[in-house]
Amino acid sequence: MTDFKTLSPEKLRAACRDGTFDGPTSGYAPGFVQANLVILPSSFAEEFEEFCKKNPQPCPVLEVLSAGDFEVNKIAPEADIRTELPRYRIFRNGRPQFEATDILDLWNGDLVTFLLGCSFVAEDALLKAGLLLPHILETGFVPMYRTTVPCESAGRFEGTMVVSMRPFESEEAERAADITKNYPMAHGAPIHTGDPAILGIEDLNNPEFGEPVTMSPEQVPVFWACGVTPQIAIANAKPPIAITHAPGHMFVADITSESTRI
């Protein structure tokens, strides 16, 4: 049986392409960058790019492809964005409609692709520092929550931030913040540690995306900006079509995590 976690990025993308892998990617291809995906009609692309510039913590841009281009240039040369993610989410007029394992039938020459940084990159550094990440040991899905923290708007794109959460004991939380601040293309330092109500989160056991994780009484929740934030902005902008990664199912790139460290 194939151990997908230890495959190279190229081989893991090939497994996505041929349909043998369609799961979440947290903990997979350690040491390599993973990316969030947003694909929009060209008439929405300029406004979305401005939204990313105004909100760099949840939306750090790794690469933008020209309209109609489906081959990645910089972070995984010649990778096909239409087939090499494990799972995609398709939106119509801002509403999620269905998920798919490829988007070949949906592709057209007007679509613009954005690849945004993902916190799974910083997870590599946390694991190397000896910090445990319960979601990797449990379901593979990091819990993600909608907050009441507003993003800066850009044209039709507006909304509140989505955050991911990882629990740590207090001393570990400080170490995690020190480590992740060095990875701005992976959302950087946490935006908040402690009481989730400060962010407008009512119940940690009921994330809007991903799955809840086990927390001990000694642990505190630590929250990072999350690349699912654009999906909230898409709901408000209402493009006729939009395609993203399914939460937790990232594009795995060829560049190393350390290459993005500052």
Average pLDDT value for residue range 112-126: 92
Check whether residue 20 and residue 92 sit in a common domain: yes
Check whether residue 146 and residue 243 sit in a common domain: no
- Confirm if 101 and 86 have CB atoms less than 8 A apart: yes
Check whether residue 208 and residue 189 sit in a common domain: yes
Check whether residue 124 and residue 110 sit in a common domain: no
Mapped onto helix, strand or coil, the DSSP state of residue 232 is helix
Domain count, the chain: 2
Q: How would residue 138 be classed by pLDDT, with cut points 50, 70 and 90?
A: confident
- Confirm if 55 and 205 have CB atoms less than 8 A apart: no
- Confirm if 222 and 190 have CB atoms less than 8 A apart: yes
Judged against a pLDDT cut of 90, whether residue 66 lies above it is answered with yes
- Whether 231 is covered by a domain: the verdict is no
- Whether 14 is covered by a domain: the verdict is yes
Task: Give, to the nearest 10 degrees, the angle between helix 229-237 and helix 42-54.
Answer: 130
Check whether residue 8 and residue 65 sit in a common domain: yes
- Whether 232 is covered by a domain: the verdict is no
- Confirm if 127 and 133 have CB atoms less than 8 A apart: yes
pLDDT in tens, 152-163: 999 999 999 999
The two tokens of residue 43 are: 């008439």
- Whether 205 is covered by a domain: the verdict is yes
DSSP H/E element including 58: none
Strand order in the sheet with 144-150: 144-150, 160-169, 219-225, 192-193
pLDDT in tens, 208-249: 999 999 999 999 999 999 999 999 999 999 999 999 999 889
pLDDT score of 121 = 84
Average pLDDT value for residue range 54-70: 98
Judged against a pLDDT cut of 80, whether residue 174 lies above it is answered with yes
Q: How would residue 124 be classed by pLDDT, with cut points 50, 70 and 90?
A: confident
Strand partners, 150: 160
What's the CATH code of the domain at 179? 3.30.2040.10
Judged against a pLDDT cut of 90, whether residue 48 lies above it is answered with yes
Instruction: Find where tokens 């907050």 sit.
Output: 147
- Whether 230 is covered by a domain: the verdict is no
Average pLDDT value for residue range 43-60: 99
The two tokens of residue 187 are: 């959302």
Task: List Cβ neighbours of 90 (8 Å cut-off, separation of 6 or more).
Answer: 96, 97, 98, 99, 100, 103, 106, 241, 242, 243
Output b/e per residue, 223-256; b: 16+ Cβ within 10 A.
Answer: bbbbbbbbbbbbbebebebbbbbbbbbbbbbbbe
Q: How would residue 2 be classed by pLDDT, with cut points 50, 70 and 90?
A: confident
Check whether residue 145 and residue 77 sit in a common domain: no
pLDDT score of 132 = 87
What's the CATH code of the domain at 89? 3.40.1640.10
Average pLDDT value for residue range 123-139: 88
Domain that holds residue 98: 4-118+237-257
Judged against a pLDDT cut of 90, whether residue 179 lies above it is answered with yes
Dihedral sign (CA 100, 76, 26, 211): negative
Check whether residue 165 and residue 132 sit in a common domain: yes
Check whether residue 124 and residue 83 sit in a common domain: no
Query: Across all residues in the chain, what is the average pLDDT?
Result: 96
Judged against a pLDDT cut of 80, whether residue 1 lies above it is answered with no
- Whether 262 is covered by a domain: the verdict is no
What is the tally of helices (H) and strands (E) in the chain? 6, 11
Output b/e per residue, 55-78; b: 16+ Cβ within 10 A.
Answer: bbbbbbbbbbbeeeebebeebbee
Average pLDDT value for residue range 63-91: 98
Could you give the residue ranges of the DSSP H alpha helices within the chain? 9-17, 42-54, 120-128, 134-137, 170-180, 229-237
Check whether residue 79 and residue 142 sit in a common domain: no
pLDDT score of 240 = 99
pLDDT in tens, 6-43: 999 999 999 999 999 999 998 899 999 999 999 999 99
